[in-house]
Amino acid sequence: MRVASWGAYLMDRNILTMSFAPRDSHEAQVQFALERGVPAVIGVLGTMKLPYPSRSFDMAHCSRCLIPWKSNDGMYMMEVDRVLRPGGYWILSGPPINWKKYYKTWQRSKQDSEEEQNRIENIAEMLCWNKIYEKEDTVIWQKKANSNACHNKNGRTSKMCNVQDADDIWYKKMETCITPIPEGAQQLQKFPQRLFAVPPRILEGTPGVTEEVYEEDKKLWKKHVDTYKRVNKLIGKSRYRNIMDMNAGLGSFAAVLDSPGSWVMNVVPTISERNTLGIIYERGLIGIYHDWCEAFSTYPRTYDLIHASGVFSLYENKCDLEDILLEMDRILRPEGAVILRDNVEVLNKVRSTVTGMRWKSKLLDHEDGPLVPEKLLIAVKTYWVGSKEGSSP
């Protein structure tokens, strides 16, 4: 990622990207991206699987990202293959592409540069990717729509992963094997139709999620978001660009909120009963797995609005409420807003804590009336600076 220029370019064309780059004290690309209003997280392609479900992305892009694609028997390209949808594209630009022209500039030998590109080409062929474009510094491969049939051809020695759940990736190491595509996997509708159409993962069978559950979820969040807009009239306007949903469920909050002036980072907690992040991606949204007992992979003050439904009840007896709130405070910009939806007893504890954090807050009844135990806590992080002596302003 180069300060998310690619993501910004695509966003103007109604295409959401999920950019990631390592933490860098010299060139904080993720921070620059988020300050521009472009989705990004701190991340690296190292030894652990990426925090995204299989078959999530229509396209993966690497521009001079310096990842050793040929290393570890093609393990990094296999991880890209895991998160790439059938028919999806992988774009590679920069070293070693066009090595004949640049190998001296890169201060590398002709033989080494050629060997690296040939190795990448061989791994791509093993993965059943077709090279569909090559010009100057850029090559584009396309993953076959039915790559399982390709892998099963006589003479192929592709090692297939033996996994029960390809989306069970949290703190799991990458493997040198190819993730198979589920039999009978259905095609996605085009965007924006897919935003509210029933996702293929639900039609194929997701534990705890039926078509009826999905339709009811959409109706429920339409009602909730209408309430949010009445309470905070800046929602849906240009005030809140970077939005986070800390417990995204089926992604209906983001889908209903759908605004050209904002985007939502849908977080699915790793301890959730239902693994729904794949469904969220099939709706044309973006998101990430995360454990809220840990710090989120972003820089301070990078989100304008944080929404959390049931997060504190979910993490009760898992980690301290104060630690989650401090992490929210870290990633929220001054004068940013927070919408919390939870049990009233939990929210009263939260309100007591956020007052000490200098958030202005207000407790509201549920849309269906005061007898419902679930309430809303609306808060704003105030802008303040400490004095030189460290006392209150």
Residues 277 and 348 in one domain: yes
pLDDT of residue 3: 53
If asked whether residues 376 and 253 sit together in one domain, one would say: yes
Residue 157: per-residue pLDDT: 60
Angle formed at CA 6 by CA 289 and CA 85, multiple of 5 degrees: 50
Are 345 and 235 in the same domain? yes
Is 187 contained in some domain? no
Domain boundary among 101, 136, 151: 151
**Residue 177 DSSP code:** S
Q: Looking at residue 229, which CATH number applies to its domain?
A: 3.40.50.150
pTM across the whole model: 0.93
* 197 shares a domain with 147: no
Task: Please write the tens of the pLDDT for every residue from 164-197.
Answer: 889 999 999 999 999 998 876 778 999 999 999 9
The answer to whether residue 2 is domain-embedded is: no
Residues 256 and 343 in one domain: yes
Residue 184: per-residue pLDDT: 65
Domain-embedded: residue 280: yes
The answer to the question of residue 332 being in a domain is yes
Count of the separate structural domains present in the chain: 2
Domain termination site, one of 151, 179, 214:
151
Asked whether residue 140 falls in the same domain as residue 203, the answer is no
Q: And the tokens for 349? A: 């504890």
Domain span holding position 93: 45-151
Distance CA 21, CA 41 (A): 7
Final residue before a domain boundary, out of 101, 131, 151: 151
Strand ranges across the sheet with 84-93? 57-63, 84-93, 138-143, 129-135
**Residue 392 falls within a domain, yes or no?**
no
Q: Is residue 203 part of a domain?
A: yes
- Between helix 321-331 and helix 344-356 the angle, nearest 10°, is 60
Bond from prior residue into 192 cis (ω within 30 degrees of 0)? yes
* 359 and 223 fall within a common domain: yes
Asked if residue 247 and residue 122 are part of one domain, the reply reads no
| d(C-alpha 231, C-alpha 222), whole Å | 14
Residues 216 and 75 in one domain: no
Residue 349 falls inside a structural domain = yes
Q: Are 125 and 231 members of one domain? A: no
Q: What is the pLDDT along the chain (393 residues), one digit of tens a residue?
A: 455 688 888 988 989 999 998 887 657 889 999 999 999 999 999 999 999 999 999 999 998 888 999 999 999 999 999 999 999 999 999 888 877 776 778 788 888 888 888 999 999 999 999 999 999 899 999 999 887 667 766 455 678 998 888 999 999 999 999 999 887 677 899 999 999 999 999 998 888 899 999 999 999 999 999 999 999 999 988 899 999 999 999 999 999 998 888 999 999 999 999 999 999 999 999 999 999 999 999 999 999 999 999 999 999 999 999 999 999 999 999 999 999 999 999 999 999 999 999 999 999 999 999 999 999 999 999 987 776 665 554
- Same domain membership, residue 209 and residue 146: no
- Integer angstrom CA distances of residue 295 from 34, 299, 351: 17, 10, 21
Q: Do 216 and 305 fall into the same domain?
A: yes
Q: Which H or E run includes 376?
A: strand 374-381
Q: What is the pLDDT of residues 367-379, one digit of tens each?
A: 999 999 999 999 9
CA 355 vs CA 4, 227, 325, 349: distances in Å: 36, 24, 11, 10
Q: Does any domain span residue 387?
A: no
